Each structure stands twice: as C-alpha cells, then as structure tokens.
Amino acid sequence: MKTLSQLTDFYYKELYPQLQDLDKRRKEIRFKIVLTSAFTLLIFAIILAFITKAYGFSFDLLFIGGALVSILFPLLYKFYTKEYTKTFKNRIITPLIQELSQRLSYTTSAYIPESVFMQSEIFQRPDRYRGNDYIKGIIDGVSLQFSDIHAEKKVKDSKGRTSWKTLFKGLYIVSDFHKEFHGHTMVLPDSAEKLFGNFLGQFLQSKNFTKNQLVKMDNSAFEKEFVVYATDQIEARYILSHTLMQKILELRNKTQHPLSIAFVANKVHIAIHYNKDLLEPTLFRSLLEYKTAMEYIKTLIVSVGIIHELKLNEKLWSKK
C-alpha cells in the first residue's frame, strides 16, 4: 500500500493535466450556477416589486421566494455538476484508489448495505438511507469495505410538520477483526461526561437504558473521549486492550471528527462523523490547491490505513 507522500506525488505528477482540465470545467460550471441563480433572483425581485405595487407588501411572498431559492439552488447544482462529478471520479479518484492498492475495487454509485450498517446497532434504524463511493478489497490479508453514508430519521414536531434528522453522515468502514468474540461491544463519543463532568456524566451513562452494560475502562484519557457499552464486560476488556484503546485515541486525534465504533460478529464497524460526502469534487475551491488535494488523499489513506492504525493485520489475537 502506498504512503501519504507517494500518493501525493502521484496526484500532482501523474494526474495534474487531468486536474487542470477539470479545474477549467469547474470554473465554467460555477459561473453558470452563479449566473442562473442571479437571473432567477432578479426575475423574482421584479415579480415581487410588481405584486407589492399592485397589492401591497406581504411576508408570505418573501417566504415563498426563500423556499424557491432553497429548492432551486440544489437542483441547479446537481444538474450542472452531474457530468463534472462523474468525470472527476473516473479521472482522479479511480486512479488514486488503484495507485493506493491494486487489491481495491471502486464503485461510485454503490455503498455499504443498510443491513450491514444496522449490524453495528450504533444507530437507530433510518427511514431514509443512501450513500456512494463504495470501496472494498483485501489489505494485508484483512477484508475491508467503506463508503460514504447518509442515514436519516423522519421526525414530526408538535404541529405535525415533518422534517428529516440526520442520524449519521460521513465515512462508514467495516473490517475483519482478528479476535474471537461472541458478544457486542460499542465505543461511542462521551458527550455526557464532557458536558456534565465525571460524576454526573458517569451516572447518566449508567442510566442509558437503550444500550448494554456500561463498561469502565482503566485508561483515563480514553474514558474522557469515549463511553463503552457491551453485552459482556470481560469480553469488552479483552477486545479493548491498552494498545487498542491508545490506537483508537490516535485515530480520533488524526481524523479530528467524532468516532463511533462497534465490535460485532468478528468485525469492527467504524463510523466517522464528517457530516459531508468526502470524495465529491469541489466547485468553489480550485482542484489544484494543495489543501483540496490532501482532503481526497487523506480520506483514502485514513480509510485503508485503519488496518495498520488499529493493527488489524497483526495476528497477535488470531481467531481460534
């Protein structure tokens, strides 16, 4: 598997001509979207001025206009960027993945199945589930799959109005785990202890009736960041060795985003809450910028690097 520096060199040395062409296309698309949006707003302003002059001002018209704009812009964005996105993934993301490892396959429109997502039991069952950028393969003898996922729950307010609440949006990774276990262990962000302090936070964690047993770990740094629930306390401590807890902390620091992890059916499920699609082409930033390039490269390195970050390729805990 290629390193971060090797993949960065490949991005700039081998893909640069493609990037230059795509960046010109990006600017053209951006101009079209801005122009079309401005023209639409101008037409609405003229219509609003006419109606106001004839019938008087109404806040309802502003509300309707705002709603139209909020619907129109995503539609325009999707319409103008569809082909651009497809080309970007074919010319840039696909070669990057192949360069990272020949043992990885990539399907832009596929994603982790909902049935696999639900095996972790980290999240409620979503009412709407979708994703893209599905990558799978075998790295150092370890089976791995990951994709972007967006899972949502339909909610109603006191007035019966329906809206969508995001349960998870980000990178979802599933990998083999070379320890034999039979229960279910979850490692979740410790929001209660951070918000309410050690004593009250631990009390609230213990009263979380939607989860399994609260497991106290003997790593203070880990306890500050995460809370552990498991069907079997002894098995949870067997899985979460001192080394693995330290590796999870390092992964959390490296990603700088909340992590949720589940160990179930001899697999590890890792949900990284990025709250965006990670392999989509930018529209309002240049593809030639170093920071832009590093976002795509680091996403791939982190996803595949999970195997080495958490030492999943080491057979120290081989299955019986």
**Nearest-angstrom CA–CA distance, 251 and 308:** 11
Per-residue pLDDT in tens (0 to 9) along the chain, 320 residues = 788 899 999 998 999 999 999 999 999 999 988 888 788 778 777 877 777 777 666 666 667 666 676 777 778 888 889 999 999 999 999 999 999 999 999 999 999 999 999 999 999 999 999 999 999 999 988 999 999 999 999 998 888 888 999 999 999 999 998 888 889 999 999 764 443 344 333 433 444 445 578 999 999 999 999 999 999 999 999 999 999 999 999 999 989 999 999 999 999 999 999 988 899 998 889 999 989 989 999 999 999 988 888 888 775 444 44
Q: Determine what percent of the chain falls in helix, strand and coil, rounding each to the nearest 5.
A: 50, 20, 25
